[in-house]
Every structure is written in C-alpha cells, then in structure tokens.
Chains A and B, each alone.
Chain A
Amino acid sequence: MESPSLAALAVLLALTVRWAVSLGPYSGAGKPPMFGDYEAQRHWQEITFNLPVHQWYFNTTANDLLYWGLDYPPLTAYHSLLCAHIAHLLEPNWVSLNTSRGHESLQHKLFMRATVLVADLLVYFPAVVLYCLLCLGEIPNKRKVSLIFCILLYPGLILIDYGHFQYNSVSLGFALWGVVALSLNRHLLGSLAFCFALNYKQMELYHSLPFFCYLLGKCFSKGITCRGQLRCKSGPGSSLHLPCPFTLLLQIGVTVVFSFALCWIPFLTGAEQILQVLRRLFPVGRGLFEDKVANVWCCLSVLLKIKNILSPETQLRLSFACTLLCVIPTCIKLAARPTIGGLKLALVNCSLSFFLYSFQVHEKSILLVALPVCLIINDFPLVSTWFLLVSTFSMLPLFLKDGLLSSYIITSLAFIVAAAALLPINGKTSEDALKLKPFCASLRRYLPWFKIPQNLIRFLITGWTALDGNSSKTQKTPINRIFSVLWIRDAQDGTSHWGTWQQSAARTGNLWASPACNLLGVSLALNSISAENPCTALPAGLHTLVAAPGGGLRFSCHDLLLRDQFLKLQKNPCP
C-alpha cells in the first residue's frame, strides 16, 4: 500500500473530524454580556481592524480593555488583523467598531470556524506530517502514517480549537516546526519557528527552557571541550558542518533578536508601548489558579486552602520556587546532552512542571504539555495515549460549560479506537518492562514492602486488552498507562546511560514531579466532589471510574512522600 494515499486518508479524516466538531456550539454562545473566547477573538479582529497599532494594547474610549482586551503577543494581533480584513470583505458588520459587539450569526460562525481550519491546515498539519515522516528515524511507513493519524486526532486540541474556539494549533504548530527544524539540524530555522510560536502565544514560554537549553548545549557540546573539538576535526567532513560554538551562538542570538524585532516592529516606538504590551501579556494579579485546574495547587486546596493561608506574594514565590526546582534537573541534563530524544522528554517535563506548579495556570494550558507528549507517542505509546486521554478529561468542566459533552465523548472514543488499532499498546507488567525499576527502588527506601501490584494492573487493563484483541496474552498487558507520566520520567533514567550525577539530579526532579503528576487525575475528581455545583457531579462520578485506577493507586503510594516534601517546602517560604 502506498503510504502517500494512506497519509492523505489520515489527514482527510482528521479534517473531517475537526469540521464535524466545529458544527457544535462554541464558548459563550448566546451568553451576553461577556460571551466567551469566540467573542474575544472576534473582538480582537474588530479592534485591530479599526484602531491604529499603537492603541491596540491601551485602554482608550474605543478600546475597553476590560471587555476582552488584547492580551496575546503581536503575532496573534496580526493574525486577527488578517482575518478582520477578510471578514470585512465578506460582511462589514462583523468587524464594525463597537456596534459589532456580541455579533452572532450562522455565517459568522462559519467564517470563524473556517479561519481556524485554514490556520490549522497551514501551520499545524504540515508540521505534524513532516515530524512523523522525517524526524522519527527508521520506522515502517505504515507506522509513520499511524502516528500522523493519532497525533492529529488528539481530542483535546480539536475540542479547544474547534469547539471552545481558539487558535492553539498555530502556536503549537510553530513550536512543532521548531522541533522539526532542530531534529533536522537546522538550528536557526528552529529558533526562528519557536520565536514565532512565542510571539503568537506567551504560554509557549512553557516550552522555552528546553529549546534554550538544547540550543545552548548544541553550541557548546561540540566546541568547548577539547574532546568535542577533536572529534570535530577528525570526523570526515564534519568540520565543515560544525561551526565554532560562539559563531553558532551568535547566529542563534541574532536570529532570535531579529525575529522578535520583526514581530514587534510597530511597538518599538517607545518603552511605554513595550511595557504596556508586556503588562497585558503577564497579568500577575489573577491569583494562584483559576477554576478547576488539574494542578498541584488546585488539588492541594481541597485539603489546605493555600489561597487563604498565604499572601499573594508568597504564593507567587512558592510557585516559582517549585517550578524552578522541577525544571532545573531536566534542563541541566538537556544542556549537557543535547539530543532530540532528550529535547522531547525535556519538553514534556518542563511544560508539565509549569502546568503543575506555576502561577496562574489555566486548564487549557494542558495542551502545551499534550503537544510534546504527542511527540513521544511512538516511543511510549501506552503512556502517551493514557496521558492524552486524561489531559482531555481534565478539561471536561470547560467542555461541559460549552455544551461539548457529546463531542468530547465521541472524539475521545475515536482516539482510543485509533490508538488501540494503530499503536502497539502492549507491554509487560514487570518493573523492568515498565522502566520503573529506579523508581520502585527509590520508593522502597520508604516502603520496604512495596511491589508493583501486577495482578491488579492486569485486571484493570482487561478492558483495554479486549479492545486490542489480544486478551489471551496476559503478559502483554498494557498497564503502563497507570503509571503514565511517571514512566516517562523514570524511563529517562532507565533507558539512557547517563552519569550518576545526572541521575541524582534527575531524581530530585523526579521526587518532586512524579507524585504531583498523579494528582493531575485525582485533583479534578476531588474538586468536582467538593464543589456544590450539581453539574460537576457527573464528571466526578465519571472521573472516579476513570482516574481511580491511575490516580488513586498512585496517590496512595505517594502521599507519604508528598506530604513530607511539601511540609518542608512550606516551612521555608512561609514568614
């Protein structure tokens, strides 16, 4: 079977699913006075179309920043401007200043949905296809197509972009272009693409550290030590390729500065402009977390009302410290050993740490974690699939608010079916097979009797195995999903032969991050249960079904560890 037509089928199917989801409702449909993200995007078109550039981020009579003021970086604004020009061609009423507020019509919805589809098709789709075709090394073509399909079918992104309404696929697509370029050794292109991503959505900062460390490592790994230099010269022809470390660093720096300048040209008129934009991009005054984010703070607040106990300043410092603590080990590792595999894992680690610990996290930010998890879906199929499903599930309250429950169920089921059919979701249940040996060993320091409950795991996975058509083979139980994120972290230690120093550094990160990862699942359940709102009772019930095997089990294993560490941490920053 020729793979081009298979790839075409995968892309077409993904497009069909996207458009079918987009027929459903969007956020804030028919809910005046504020509406939702859909209205925000439309409002930005109105603002950028009618006002001069220097007024975009300022509160003026024509630009009420309290009503969905522009709070994304310039590229988003330009994108809105482009869409606004097209909208103006089609129907001037859609973007007329002030009078178009809250405009809703079938044609307009169609137009907005089409803009998302076009942006997706131009940025995200080619990036995914190229990534799977070029960056995964020697794997069969059919597998590559399967991966294209599975990544494109990730329900979270589809639901947020085509249901809720946002343009996440643009920024994520640019970041993915960055990974593609880096893995093809085009460092300058990679940094350019990532700068675009950063200038489209400031949330891409979650991904910035691994990119930075990778490029830094690339600059120095070849040249600064004599070993690298020797190899440089001895390698046949490679000396032509490898520039002097500082040349590369300089080139990358110039690229970054140039691309930033390019995006910010209209705002470089004065310091006030730049500062105002930055103030809009990073509003610190919103509190530790919003709504029901599946992160540590939200989860912890079930037991301990951090928001009430600590001052906002301390909260900020606490979250910063936690995030840094989690991020540093993996970044050091990456800088020391810049490989593409390491980059992908570091992207997962960093973005997840940011999601779990950083200040003012929105539940949609899980998409930034989901993208790198999509990238490692070939290496850790089961874990990644499980994580992607849970990440979608963690946004359920949002989907419920938007009336996207049916789309959520269907796309998630479709993703499960696709993953079960196309990805090799099998594995053994032993510690070794799970890459859990180092982790279990570290756990046994506290719980000497600890053993992986293999029978329980097998039992829990029976459903999945049945779907996969391999129920007879108990040894291949795909249990790994239970240990989801954790496995990713431990696998990082287990499969690679790093120095022990690096291992111990990683362990520190692990110690912190892995227990918290489990909370991802549990926190939502706890929150839903604790909330009085009756409409959250459904997700709570659902969640206990889904997440109890994963989160509950892990939670119970880790709460000792967790409590210990958090108590320590709380003592320090507390006045």
Chain B
Amino acid sequence: MLSHDPDLSQGQLLTGHAPRVDVSCADGTTGFLFTSGWAKMAASRGGHVVASSSRSKEAGGDGSWFVTLALGVSLLKCLLIETYHSTDFEVHRNWLAITHSLPVSRWYYEATSEWTLDYPPFFAWFEYALSHAAHYFDSEMLKVENFNYASQATVLFQRFSVIVTDVFFIYATKQCCSCVADRKEQRSVLDNPAFVLAGLLLWNFGLLIVDHIHFQYNGFLSGFMLLSIARLFQERYIESAFLFSVLLNFKHIYLYVAPAYGIYFLRSYCFTASNSDGSLRWRSFSFRRFISLALIVSAVFAVSFAPFVYMFWWRTNRETNSLQTANNDYSCRRHSHVPAIQRTASQSSCATLPTCSKELWGQIPQVLSRLFPFKRGLCHAYWAPNFWALYNAADKVLSIMGARLQLLSPDSVRAGSMTGGLVQEFEHSVLPSVTPMATLLCTGLSILSIPTPNHSSAQPSVLCLWFRPRGPRGFLRCLILCALGSFMFGWHVHEKAILLAILPLSLLAVSSARDASLFLLLATTGHYSLFPLLFTAQELPIKILLMAIFTVFSVSFLRTMFRRRGPLLGWLETLYLCGLVPLGAFCEIIYPLTPWQQALPFIPLLLTSVYCALGIGYAWIGLYVTQFAELKPAKKKTS
C-alpha cells in the first residue's frame, strides 16, 4: 500500500532521496520489517565476528580470547587494590626497606622489624630492584624503622608491583595453553581446552585472593613453575632446569617439588634411551647432558649464594653483634608464608654465626637459619587442611572423650594448648606428639612409596617416575603428588601451599576426565580452605563471589569438555562439595553472630580445616590411584 502523505515532496527535498515507495505501510508489518531488519543486521555482524575469530584461530594465534581473559583479570586485580591487606604487606614493605637501605651483607642479619628477610637471595634482589621504583612513589616506605607504613602511594606501588609482575604469569599461562591446544578438533572457543586452561590458571581463585587481597607475590613465582613445566613439554630441558633453579632461589617452598624435577631430569634427560619394556638402559647415560644440566643449576645457585659465601664475617661483625642477640629471641609468631622444609639439621642454632664455619661458609649458615626456621609449630595458626589437622582433631576428640569417660586424668589433658591462634610448638594430649623428624619421614614416605596390591614391590610416585617414565605427563603427575604429599604431612604447612598442587593440576584437568574430577574436588576444597585468610566483613562478599565464579567456571566448563564421559563427580563427591555451602554459611555468617564466637573463636577454623582435610586427602589418594590405573594398561601392553 502506498502512503499518501501531503509532505511527500518536502520529505524528498529534505532527504534528497529518490521518492521512497513505502510498500509496507500496513501496521504490524512495518514493525516486523523494522525489527527483522535489525535482526538481520545483527546476525550478519555476528556472522562476521564468528568468521573472523575462526580465521584468527586458523592463523595460529590463540585468538583474542586470551587477551580478553588476561586483560579482564588484570582489571579485576586493579579493582582489588583497595581491599584489606594482611601483615604480609608490611613484611614485603620491610624487605623493600631492608634491601634498599642496607648493604647486602646485612640483609639477612637485620632484625629491627619482627618480619625479617626469610626468602632466598633472588627474592631479596627482586625486592632490591623494586625498591628503586618504589623510590619514585613514596621514599618513606623505604625506611626500616617506619613500621606498618601504608600510605596511599605505598599501597598503590605494592599492589601494582604484584599486578605488573603477574604479566610473567600470564606469559607462562600462554605457553602452557599452547602445550595443551594440540588437538585439531573443530570446537567452539568455549570448548577449547586451551581456553579452559587459561581460565583455570588466570582466574584462579587462590592466586587472586592470596596475591591481590592478602598480598604476596605467588603469581610470578607460579609463572616460573608453569613456564618450566611448559618448557619440559616443549622438550627444552635446559631452559626448564634453569627456570626451576631460579625459582628455587626465589622461594624455597618449591623444594617440595624438587624431587620430581631431579628424578625426571636424571631419568628422562640424562639417560637418552630406555629398554623396550620401559626399564632403564644404563649404557645410554649421556655425560654431556648431565654436565650441562649440573652446570646450569650450580651456576644459578652460585650466583644466588656466592655473595654471601664470600662476605667475610669481620666486615659486618661490628654491626651484627648487636643484631644477633636480637635475633635469638626472634619471634616465631608471625603469619609466615614459609612452611617447613625438611632438612636434617636444625639450623636455628646457626643464628649466632658459629665461628668454626665462618671462613668457609661466610653468611650461609645465617641465611639458611632464616630460610628454615624450625621453632614454629606443627600446624600454622589456621591449621592447614592436611593430615595433621585430622590428627589434631582426633587428639582433641579423644582427650575430651577420655575426660568424659574418666579414662584420662584431667591433669593430662591440656585444654586449648593448640587453639590459641598462636603459632607455636605444642604437645598432644592423648596421641603421641609429632616431631619435625616424624613429619619428614611421613613426607618422604608419602612421596616415595605406597605399596599396592597389584605389584609385589612398592610402586611409588617418585620411584615410578624413575622406573616407568611416561613423558612429561607422568612428570607432572609426580610433581603434583610431591606437592600434595608434602602438603599433607609437612611441618608447619601453610594452607596457601595448596596452590602448589592446584595450579599444575589444572594442566592435567583439561586433558583427562578422571583428573578433571579430581581437580574439581581438590580445587574447590583447597580454595575453600583459604577462606579464613580473609576474615574482614567487607571482603566477605568478594571472596564468596570470586569463589563462586571460579567454581561455576571450572565445574561447568570441565563438565562440558568431558560431557561424553558421563558425570565427572560421583554422588558422594557431589554431596561432599555441596556440604561446603552450609559449612561456609555456618562458619562465615551464622557462627560469628552466636555468643560462642567470643568463647570458642577457633571452632570455625577447626571445622573448616578438618572438613577440607578430608577432601584434600581424598583427592590425594585419588591421584595415587589414577597413577596406578594408568600404569596397569601400560604394563599389559609391554608384557
């Protein structure tokens, strides 16, 4: 139908158009055409975008989604600048001040603040480098005596230093993604394993809250680990070894996973060939490879520690005499991020710089005594969810039951000995007390040997890596088992150490359904166990939301990836994970409102760590089982 408008000519004049015949003047149709025109327009553009994104994928790049994920999470980190920061913020500020204002020789002696430098030398140099930039923000933060100094500029600088150094982590993630993106299947971006992996690593809940709220530098350190793993996958062994030894000199917590690296390099790199049944061919040992490896590693360690070896004690004698005395009563009550590393000797006595070794070793004993403080207790203030949490809880229950049933005399029950929230040594009431040696033994055993019924001999994780190397994937599994084993049984383990296992497990999770289900279990439980780190009311919504984001992401994306394998989690596992919700509601919201909060403030922590210890223990055992499950078919093939 034609429109009969009086203003037709004027309209033409105004528009300068050819007269437009309006064929669709009947009402309803116009609207339809109108909107459908939009829809078409939008659809054509949408098609364009899909096409272009697939094209860019074909071109070999990871596509713009990686940039989006990385930029998005970086912006989120920037938004978290104003959140609460823990004492670790002051720890790192103090280290900035120490490295900036004192000569190298005094770095490991300085004890004005209670937060003494207790990371390996590379980290100290890292802080030294940072301090030069910090100078331009606020030079007040570089004074050792400015305790708890947190001006706006200081906060901004420290937070941004974490965010900027995380760029290395992003790069490492990108490398890891390129390792898993091998499959040439036609999938949408959201089903792409590389995309899921990038999400799991970049948006990792634990890293976000530990680094960007609680305040630490785990991001770029994890970046070193992930990059060295990626280099192993890419068969660039020397680089991998270099990165890992650098990492060890940044933060010695990574000694936990060093056995996996050591064995794998020795077995799969230094020995160039295996027998047909997978056993070792001794003849194939390559001295050239071994020496190059040894050179690289020792060069890194030499660069790190040599300045402290060659620093003669007399140069600093005068200054340090006073410091040493202060050092001896160095408080052990700090919230440390340095968990116990099992070393044979208790080096705490070295703090007084024994004269016998001073010429030979320089400051090394002092450095080591800072790195491995054994005066701290079995469990950290928050009770990391490991075997010892269960052990402590059992001890508690037994002692209470014993007292009720009058099997124990009340004197023998030292109530509340480990619940004061202080990090200290304590003794168990009923069960035998645990010594550092015992935890060392347990850790060693957990890493080395778990006998299985199927094999006559022990088939443990590290040994397994030796006897039946299965490429980098086997190495990765062993690394995770090492991390988890030491987490379960280590001395004074901090709950943050669980990230050491969760991050590498993400790599496995995107490639096998069983690992994915274990990852869901371990990551959800482990992340939940980090909740007590943030206890302020205003961060409560943030931690819940971030946790929900990560959990929804990991559950839904992994389930979609493995939708053909059936459900990822069994009913018991699902029930267990769902149990975290009421537990969280009780611990975070209901309990603080009850009068018990004043009298028994530790109950939520206890519940959290015991409940999470069950899940983490289950995931640890599950990982062992999958290792053997993978072993069996391999054996059938060979025999």
- A residues whose Cβ falls under 8 Å from a Cβ of B: 1-2, 5-6, 8-9, 12-13, 15-17, 19-21, 23-24, 106-107, 110, 117, 137-140, 142-143, 221, 227-228, 231, 337, 339-342, 378-379, 381, 406-407, 410-411, 413-414, 417-418, 420-421, 424, 426-427, 437-438, 441-442, 444-445, 468-470, 473, 476, 493, 495-504, 507
Q: Is B78 on the interface with A (CB-CB < 8 A)? A: yes
Q: Is B537 on the interface with A (CB-CB < 8 A)? A: yes
Given A2-B556, A5-B552, A469-B67, the answer on whether A507 and B49 have CB atoms closer than 8 Å is no
13 A-B pairs within 8 Å (CB atoms) are namely: A5-B552, A9-B556, A12-B548, A16-B545, A17-B76, A19-B545, A138-B39, A337-B27, A337-B30, A470-B52, A497-B33, A499-B25, A500-B22
- Across chains A and B, the number of contacting residue pairs, with CB separation under 8 Å, is 193
Contact of A501 among B6, B49, B548 (CB under 8 A): B6
Smallest CB–CB gap between A274 and chain B, Å? 39
Main secondary structure of the interface of B (DSSP, over half): helix
Q: Is B150 on the interface with A (CB-CB < 8 A)? A: no
Which residues of chain B have C-beta atoms less than 8 A from A445's C-beta? 14, 16
Q: Is B10 on the interface with A (CB-CB < 8 A)? A: yes
B12 touches A17 (CB 8 A): no
Q: Mark B382-410, 1 if CB is under 8 A from A, else 0.
A: 00000000000000000000000000000
Smallest CB–CB gap between A371 and chain B, Å? 19
- Which bracket fits the contact residues of B? 35 or more
- B residues whose Cβ falls under 8 Å from a Cβ of A: 3, 5-8, 10-12, 14-17, 19-20, 22-28, 30-31, 33-35, 37-39, 41-43, 45-46, 48-49, 52-53, 56, 63-65, 67-68, 71-72, 75-76, 78-83, 188, 190-191, 537-538, 541-542, 545-546, 548-549, 552-553, 555-557, 560
Smallest CB–CB gap between B306 and chain A, Å? 43
Q: Once the chains are docked, how many angstroms separate the CA of A420 from the CA of B75?
A: 15
Q: Once the chains are docked, how many angstroms separate the CA of A342 from the CA of B32?
A: 11
Contact of B5 among A17, A339, A468, A500 (CB under 8 A): A500
B34 touches A410 (CB 8 A): no
Smallest CB–CB gap between A21 and chain B, Å? 7
A424 touches B45 (CB 8 A): yes
Smallest CB–CB gap between B151 and chain A, Å? 15
Q: Which residue of A lies closest to B553 (CB)?
A: A9
B556 touches A227 (CB 8 A): no
A424 touches B42 (CB 8 A): yes
Smallest CB–CB gap between B188 and chain A, Å? 7
Q: Once the chains are docked, how many angstroms separate the CA of A445 from the CA of B13?
A: 9
B8 touches A501 (CB 8 A): yes
Given A2-B556, A424-B48, the answer on whether A12 and B79 have CB atoms closer than 8 Å is no
Q: Which residue of B lies closest to A106 (CB)?
A: B538
Q: Which residue of B lies closest to A25 (CB)?
A: B82
Among the interface residues B17, B542, B545, which one has the most CB atoms of the partner chain A within 10 A?
A: B545
A497 touches B8 (CB 8 A): no
B22 touches A421 (CB 8 A): no
B5 touches A499 (CB 8 A): yes
Which residues of chain A have C-beta atoms less than 8 A from B553's C-beta? 9
Q: Which residue of B lies closest to A414 (CB)?
A: B75
Given A2-B560, A406-B81, A497-B22, the answer on whether A441 and B37 have CB atoms closer than 8 Å is no
Which residues of chain B have C-beta atoms less than 8 A from A378's C-beta? 42
B549 touches A13 (CB 8 A): yes
Which residues of chain B have C-beta atoms less than 8 A from A23's C-beta? 82-83, 538
B560 touches A504 (CB 8 A): no
Q: Which residue of A lies closest to B551 (CB)?
A: A12
Contact of A139 among B6, B42, B63, B557 (CB under 8 A): B42
Q: Once the chains are docked, how many angstroms separate the CA of A139 from the CA of B531?
A: 40
Which residues of chain A have C-beta atoms less than 8 A from B80's C-beta? 20
Contact of B35 among A339, A406, A421, A444 (CB under 8 A): A339
A20 touches B542 (CB 8 A): yes
